[in-house]
Structure 1
Amino acid sequence: MFWKRKRKKEEEEERNQQEIDVSIDEVRQAIKQCASDMPMGISLRSLVNDDHSINFKLLKNILKGIPKQKFYMSKETFEVFEDAEKAKTIDKVQVAVDQYISEKNEIPVIPGEPTFRISYFLIKEYLHHEQPDYPLYIDPNDRLVTHRRPNQ
């Protein structure tokens, strides 16, 4: 009887080690579930490696395996990407936005822009001339940077 439980456990571990195909939405759902299961005081940053890749060893039980492809996550906003550079860029812009808000006490958006598109001109001194070549937006409620254009 003991060997049956042991074999069943080994089979389950083997399934969780399998490489699987997952969509970015499935990864986001797994992260969301992991976040809700995490004890207080544990940050989602524990899922992010130094290179912004996601540590799927911590999500393998939820996903039932390890994704074949790499996914990346912003350490500041926890958005998930298929491209490491986007995750790094979001983090740099978020830090610049936070510094601007801290000093000027206002959100650095293009004046009159209903989508809260970030003005790179206003935060250029905080970005150190590493301006993204695509628009980023800011949520006026939580002040987090996003690549998703908000609904007007």
Structure 2
Amino acid sequence: MKHKFTKYLGRVTENLELGFEEKWIYVHYTKGSTEKTACLLKNEKKSEDEYLERFFEENKVSEEMKKEVNKFLKNDKNHNDTHWNEFTNFLIKALSLNMVFGISIALSVYGGFKLGSFLDSQFEIYPTFTLIGTFLGIGIGGVTVYSMVYKYFKSPIKKEKENVKTVNRDLTGNIDHPIIDVTIEEVRRAVRTFSDNLPKGAFRTILVQEDNSIDFKQLASHLGGIPSKKFYMSKETYDLFEESEKLIPIEMDIVQKAVDQYVKERKEYPMLKFDPQRRVNYYQLLQNHYLKAAPETQFYITDLDGLVTHILPQKKNSSQS
């Protein structure tokens, strides 16, 4: 889910777009003619506002925008940390339902008892029907209480799973989707749309199968069919790849995890100093046991807070001022 913020600073409009994923925070910022996009990798135990603070300072985000974002993050945390309110509601609900439970069981037992007594008086075999009616009333009362408990105290986790199942309904449905030809850019747009509509707590990695191929049954409604060829996705960076590059996402996930762990423990990137290409130094990762074997693909460390890429970075033009 993406969140947009807008501030009007005189003649200049300031826009900020935030997207929160499991592994990183997507940021798109514009202010007048200035435009900046970044992916802040969440590889440390920091809050979301701490990750954004550095970006705000580097790009001179206005104080008004900072306050609005911080207010949003604070309200979001308060919305998530509702344990006290939930506990209070639980007590109110429990006390009210306890009264209902007691009345339900009492009426069921009393009704069973009276019915049994009446039958005993008619057939003169006391206390046979009285006992049967009493136990039958206890049983009916127990079933009634169980139904109430199941209805009113249904697990939130179960509800969340049901939401995810609703999103993934195509997986179990018998819908016949046509086979279509699509480009990787069309797949990328479909993945973004799918991700934006996911329930809270679910991430686009649910699209990725064991071999890193994309499960297009979940994307069929966004694409208009099932692609005629496979596409693959990295679980760590969400980069997309075609069939000819299917080994890259597997190696990319391994290398990204190794780089994240290296940075977390050593506070520096595993690359040679002054390397203009910012290549991931596999020797450093192998020597310190972050990797078991050197990948076939050469990866590079981007400017997006430690995310790796297989694309060779372009040389910066030194003549530009």
TM-score tier after normalising by the smaller chain length? 0.7 to 0.9
Determine if the alignment matches structure 1 residue 127 to structure 2 residue 291.
Answer: yes
Match of 2:227 in 1: 67
Match of 1:109 in 2: 271
CA distance in 2, matches of 1:84, 1:30: 19
CA distance in 1, matches of 2:206, 2:253: 16
Larger deviation, residues 120-129 vs 54-63: 120-129
1:23 maps to amino acid: T
Match of 1:84 in 2: 246
1:24 maps to amino acid: I
CA distance in 2, matches of 1:71, 1:98: 25
Which TM-score applies when normalising by structure 1? 0.82
Larger deviation, residues 137-146 vs 66-75: 137-146
Determine if the alignment matches structure 1 residue 57 to structure 2 residue 221.
Answer: no
Unaligned runs of 5+ in 1: 1-12
Name the larger-Rg structure. 2
Match of 2:199 in 1: 39
| SS of aligned partner of 2:284 | coil
CA distance in 2, matches of 1:78, 1:59: 15
Structure 1 residues 2-13: aligned runs within 5 Å:
none
Determine if the alignment matches structure 1 residue 141 to structure 2 residue 304.
Answer: yes
| SS of aligned partner of 1:57 | coil
User: Residues 248 and 297 of structure 2 are in contact (CA less than 8 Å); yes or no, is this contact kept in structure 1?
Assistant: no
User: Residues 109 and 117 of structure 1 are in contact (CA less than 8 Å); yes or no, is this contact kept in structure 2?
Assistant: yes
| SS of aligned partner of 1:72 | strand
Q: Which has the higher strand share?
A: 2
- Cα-to-partner distance string for 1:43-96 (whole Å, 9 max, x where unaligned): 111110111110111111111000010111111111111232111000010111
| SS of aligned partner of 1:27 | helix
CA distance in 2, matches of 1:31, 1:150: 25
| SS of aligned partner of 2:217 | helix
2:198 maps to amino acid: M
CA distance in 2, matches of 1:33, 1:139: 25
Which TM-score applies when normalising by structure 2? 0.40
CA distance in 2, matches of 1:90, 1:55: 19
Q: RMSD in angstroms over aligned alpha carbons?
A: 1.6
Match of 1:7 in 2: none
Match of 1:118 in 2: 280
Q: Which has the higher helix share?
A: 2
User: Residues 74 and 87 of structure 1 are in contact (CA less than 8 Å); yes or no, is this contact kept in structure 2?
Assistant: yes
CA distance in 2, matches of 1:21, 1:121: 41
Q: Which structure is richer in relative contact order (CA contacts within 8 A, separation 6 or more)? A: 1
Q: In the comparison of the two structures, how many residue pairs are matched?
A: 137
